[in-house]
Structure formats: structure tokens, C-alpha cells
Amino acid sequence: MTQTLEPDTHEETAPDPQTRVDAWLARFEGALADRDVSRAAGLFAVDSYWRDLVAFTWNLTTVEGREQITDLLSERLVDTDPARFRTTETPTADGDVTSAFIAFETATGRGEGHLRIRTDGETGEDQGWTLLTTLQELTGHEEPRGTGRILGAVHGSDPDRRSWAEKKADEDASLGRDNQPYVLVVGGGQGGIALGARLRQLGVPSLVVDRQERPGDQWRNRYKSLCLHDPVWYDHLPYLPFPDNWPVFAPKDKVGDWLEFYTKVMEVPYWSKTTCVSAEYDEAAGRWTVEIDRDGERLTLTPTQLVLATGMSGKPSVPTFAGQDVFAGDQHHSSKHPGPDGYVGKKVVVIGSNNSAHDICKALVENGIDTTMVQRSSTHIVKSESLMEIGLGDLYSERALAAGMTTHKADLTFASLPYRIMHQFQIPLYDRIRAQDKDFYDRLTAAGFDLDFGDDDSGLFMKYLRRGSGYYIDVGASELIADGSIALEHGQVDHLTEDSVVLSDGTVLPADVVVYATGYGSMNGWAADLIGQDVADRVGKVWGLGSETTKDPGPWEGEQRNMWKPTQQPGLWFHGGNLHQSRHYSLYLALQLKARFEGIATPVYNLAEVHHLS
């Protein structure tokens, strides 16, 4: 008797991404519910990262590895009381990494985030690699949006017979006089306006002040050729995205008009022609006394929270050179550059080789003006179209929108990459760019331009996040350098004469105009001017990660220094960055301020220490 054995055609298949993520989240939530910190931390890989934006920590902080995750949960698990972890759409797998957008709830609010898991090679178990948790709204203090929007019209009788316009006029008249703002935002550019809109929707009494005559003048008053270098999909403001026929790169005056329109439509409490003269914090009372000049009228404001939204770059950095007092021509910082119109027939020397220097030189040369750029150190250059295609295209582009990548999901995805390993994701992108644009870079190098791709070849975003300088997004100036239209010199400035700039090697550059495109200092310089050097030193340097790369000294801090989060000075906050950051991080700053306004306990985990004063 024989027996025929048929081959077993059934193959065991690995769980799909949804099953794997659901299982990990269930184990994680179970450990949290049991208050088993060790078990919860053990679900993460040895090399893992948890970035929390307010939801667990009332801070913006990143913890790395099981030991730091254990510390976070030991301090914050009971108060946070997280629950209902779930995916918000189908997870995806890419190689050995499975990614998912998630949602959850805490004792104080509702959150969203992003999770990446990997399978451990030894145990075969899925482990958390990166986790992002963000607070999106406070329970009981939700914004009046969607189904929760206000009615607007009065249906039935109302003892208050004032129209909307009359109510708004009365509110404006009493603000800063009969009614003090809880939050005073100093700086009415894109950052201050975005935050003002958030606070308005959250019902936090606030006021945005700016010394310019109109909202948007921060853009209108720059050199006339200025355009956004970031594409439109990256630059939306909260609540009100740019129309889908908006230019990819908006000119400065169009941006200024949009900010003015946005301020009015979003009902941002905004005082123009207003200068803050001084500010002093009363520790006992827990509030500020701020002296302001509003178009010649002196007023005293007493906010509880003071936000400096004076721009990520801080104060203009104007170098001091021997001979500046004898130079007979015009000399000014790039922030004050009026454009090329008044300089026809003159010789212009631009000190610097980053974004503003390139933009200014391009506009001058295109108007027939003899222009020399002085490059003092190497600069990273990336072509605008390459940046859009390779650097941003998967998240912020028409291609991304067509694939279902909304601005909100793109922001969460970008935020989910821990700063510690972000450069690892960026290096391959810039390797592709360098190979694709080899001829472009070869022409620049042949012209004598000193190029770099960052200390570790990670390109533009990491330079921006680490130091906020040292790069140019090319929109045409590089070709003018390559063909010699923009004259190029290298070295440090030794001194100025009556009619020239003299470099340290003795090179003499005849000049009628000197433009100092020399960047900006730390934002805490504004705090020094307004409040005092002691407070500026107490909060320390603003911006940078502590990466120990050029102009970003260590130790490692893991988040942007002092930005959008509590500082060592109670009641003092910093807000700013590009349009993307103004949009995204204004939410987390607004929620921190709203919680304090409502009296919600906000114990701050891992308040950053001060390592650098400026």
C-alpha cells in the first residue's frame, strides 16, 4: 500500500500593517492603563524616539531610548491618563518600517500623532521606533469649527441689540483700556498674526502689536524683488489656505496684502504703529507691565503672558569694521535694503552670500548696476525646482495632494521625524540633488563659488534648523554668478575707506554702496532690548538644536531652543520661523496659553536648561 503526499501549498503570511499597528497600540495602551511603565517602555526599540508636542509634557520635547521614555512616563503618565489609541487611516509599510497616523485622548484633551514600528530581528516582535504625540484640542474648550461653529445670526429675541460691527467696535475700543489682554504678542508678522488667529478662535483675550503702519508691511517694506522661496503648498496659514490659483512663489507685496486681509477676516486683535518701550515681570503678581507707544499715545498693558514674535532670525546683525565712519557712500543692513532703483550708475558691494545677498545682487545686476558679492564662508545652494521636486514633493506639492497628503498630514509627517535622526533622511535626498544638478554645481565651482552641503551633507533643512543661515534657494542668482554677471570676491573685510571696501588680503573693492547681508542674531536680543539683559541671559539662546555643527554648539537639546514652549522666564514665550512653522507650531503655543488662561494645570516636563546666552 502506498500513500501519496500532496505538497502543502498553504504559506503562512505575515500580519498586514493594520493588524501589526493595532496589536502594538493595544499592548501600549494596556501597559499605560495598568500604569506599568517598564512594560510600556519595553515596547520600544533600544534606539527609539518619542517626540511630544504638549500632549503628555506641556512642553515640546523629545525623549530617546527606553531609559528616557521610562522617565517621561514615570513623571507624566498618571496626570495625562492617555487612552483610546487608534489609527486614523490604513497604515502603510515601506521595507521593514510600518507607519501609521494615530489618534488618542488624555485627561485634558484630544491628540493626534504618528507611529513607526519595526520588527526586532532577534525576537520577531514589533517595536516602536518613532512616536509623535501632539495635543490638538482641549476637552471642553474646543474651537467653534465645523459642526460647532457659531450661528452668527440672531433667530429670536436678543436683549443685546448691537450689530456684529457695533460689538466689534466696542470690543476694539475697550481692549487695552477697560479690558487687558491675557496674552500680548509683540510682532505682527506672519508668526504673530497666525498665533493671534489661533488665540482668537480659542477665546483667549489677546492683542498683537507691531510698529509698522499696516499688517503685512514687514513684507512690503523689503527690497522689491523679494518673493517667497518656499512653495505655496508649504506656506498656508491656519484656517485659511491660499487659493488654489495662488502663485507657487508669491511676491512680497502679494504676501503683505494676504497678511492684511487675513488679519481682518480672522478678526485678529491687532494694533499697528505700536512700539513696545519696556516690559517688566512682577513675580508675585505673575504678570507683566508693558509700556507701549501707540501712534503717539502712551499706554500701559498688564498681560499675564508675553510672546515675542519678532521673527526667527532675531535682530539684524551689523558688523563693525574700521572705517565705517569715514565711508562716504550709503551703507545699510539687508533688512533695510530698498531695492535697486536708487543705485543705477553706482558700484555696490554686498557683504555676505546667503539668501538675501543673492536676491539683492540679482536685482541689482538685472538693473545694470555694477555689483560685487563678498563671500566670507561657504554656502549651501539648492535649485528651487530641485528642492520642490525632491526635497518637498512627497509632502507639499500638487503631486502630494493628489496622493491624499493633506497639509495637516504633511505637517504631522514632517514633525514625526526626530531631529536626532532627521539628517539621515535628508542626506539621500541631497545626494540625489547633487547628482541631478552636477552641471549646475560644476559651473558655480568653476566661477570660484565656495559650495557646501552642510557639515554632514544633509543640506538645506538641517542648516536651517541648526543655525538658520548658510544657504540660498536658487531662483536665478547662481547663474549670474556662474557667468560672471555678479562679481565674486572671497575673504573677510578688513576696513572701509571713503570710497572702497578693503579685504584682509589687501583686495580693494571700489564702492558707492555697501550692503551688509550679514544675517541676524538670536531672538533673545529683542528680550534684552525690551526687558533687560538679565532676562535675555535667563532664557538663553533662541534657535538651534545643539548638534555641534557649525554655529550650533552643543550639548544636544533635541528641540529648537526656546521656541513655542515654556522658557526659564515665567510668562515669556518665543514664536516665529517660516510660514510652515508659524502655521504648525502656533497651534501648540496657543493651546499652552489657552490652558493657562483656563486654569488647567500645566506641569512642564523637562524644562530646557540654558547652555548658551546668545
Q: pLDDT digits over 32-42, tens only?
A: 999 999 999 99
The band of 4, judged by pLDDT with boundaries at 50, 70 and 90, is very low
10 Å Cβ neighbour count for 317? 17
The band of 112, judged by pLDDT with boundaries at 50, 70 and 90, is very high
pLDDT the model gives residue 12: 54
Is 411 a domain residue? yes
Q: Compute the average pLDDT of residues 324-340.
A: 94
Q: Compute the average pLDDT of residues 461-472.
A: 95
CATH number at residue 534: 3.50.50.60
pLDDT > 80? residue 311: no
Residues pairing with 495 in the sheet: 322, 502
- DSSP at 606: S
pLDDT > 70? residue 447: yes
Q: Are 449 and 545 within one domain?
A: no
pLDDT > 90? residue 522: no
Q: What is the dihedral of CA 363, 368, 369, 370, to 10 degrees?
A: 120
As given in the structure block, the three cell numbers for residue 63 are: 525623549
Is 2 a domain residue? no
The band of 192, judged by pLDDT with boundaries at 50, 70 and 90, is very high
Residue that is last in its domain, among 475, 498, 520? 520
Distance of CA 297 to the CA centre of its chain: 34
CATH number at residue 114: 3.10.450.50
Q: Are 493 and 355 within one domain?
A: yes
pLDDT the model gives residue 1: 33
Q: Are 242 and 379 within one domain?
A: no
Question: How many structural domains are present in the chain?
Answer: 3
The band of 7, judged by pLDDT with boundaries at 50, 70 and 90, is very low
Which tens digit of pLDDT belongs to each residue from 256-268?
999 999 999 999 9
pLDDT the model gives residue 520: 86
Is 153 a domain residue? no
- DSSP at 116: E
Is 10 a domain residue? no
Q: Are 412 and 544 within one domain?
A: no
pLDDT the model gives residue 13: 67
C-alpha–C-alpha distance, residues 235 and 237, integer Å: 7
Q: Which residues contact 503 (CB under 8 A, 6 or more apart)?
A: 374, 489, 491, 492, 493, 494, 509
Q: Are 75 and 126 within one domain?
A: yes
Q: Which residues contact 4 (CB under 8 A, 6 or more apart)?
A: none
The band of 313, judged by pLDDT with boundaries at 50, 70 and 90, is low
Which tens digit of pLDDT belongs to each residue from 52-98?
999 999 999 999 999 999 999 999 999 999 999 999 999 999 999 99
Q: Are 257 and 381 within one domain?
A: no
Which tens digit of pLDDT belongs to each residue from 290-310?
999 999 999 999 999 999 998
352 to each of 75, 156, 360, 492, how far by Cα in Å?
47, 65, 11, 10
Q: Domain range spanning residue 210?
A: 164-314+523-598
Q: Which residue has the cell 539621500?
A: 428
Burial class (CB in 10 A: 0-12, 13-18, 19+), 356: buried
pLDDT the model gives residue 314: 60
What share of the chain has pLDDT > 70, as a percent?
A: 97
Is 528 a domain residue? yes
C-alpha–C-alpha distance, residues 298 and 278, integer Å: 12
H-helix or E-strand containing 258?
helix 252-265
H-helix or E-strand containing 175?
none
C-alpha–C-alpha distance, residues 259 and 268, integer Å: 11
Is 431 a domain residue? yes
As given in the structure block, the three cell numbers for residue 430 are: 541631497
| Burial track 567-604 (b if 16+ CB lie within 10 A, e otherwise) | bebebbbbbbbbbbbbbbbbbbbbbbbbbbbeebebee
Q: What is the dihedral of CA 145, 565, 99, 95, to 10 degrees?
A: 150
pLDDT the model gives residue 9: 44
Q: Compute the average pLDDT of residues 203-228.
A: 92
Q: What are phi and psi of 450, to 5 degrees?
A: -90, 105
Which tens digit of pLDDT belongs to each residue from 479-521?
999 999 999 999 999 999 999 999 999 999 999 999 999 988 8
Is 607 a domain residue? no
Q: Are 277 and 298 within one domain?
A: yes
Q: Compute the average pLDDT of residues 558-572.
A: 97
Q: Are 171 and 110 within one domain?
A: no
Is 158 a domain residue? no
10 Å Cβ neighbour count for 278? 12
C-alpha–C-alpha distance, residues 71 and 52, integer Å: 13
C-alpha–C-alpha distance, residues 215 and 190, integer Å: 9
Give every strand in the sheet of 287-294, ordered side by side: 274-282, 287-294, 297-301
pLDDT the model gives residue 5: 39
Q: Which residue has the cell 503685512?
A: 216
Strands (E), 274-427: 274-282, 287-294, 297-301, 305-308, 330-333, 347-351, 370-375, 380-383
CB distance 373 to 484 below 8 Å:
no
Q: Are 359 and 289 within one domain?
A: no
Q: Are 191 and 242 within one domain?
A: yes
Residue that is last in its domain, among 469, 491, 520? 520
pLDDT the model gives residue 312: 60
Q: Are 369 and 470 within one domain?
A: yes
- DSSP at 395: T
**Residues present in the chain in total:** 614
Q: Are 412 and 442 within one domain?
A: yes
Residue that is last in its domain, among 481, 500, 520? 520
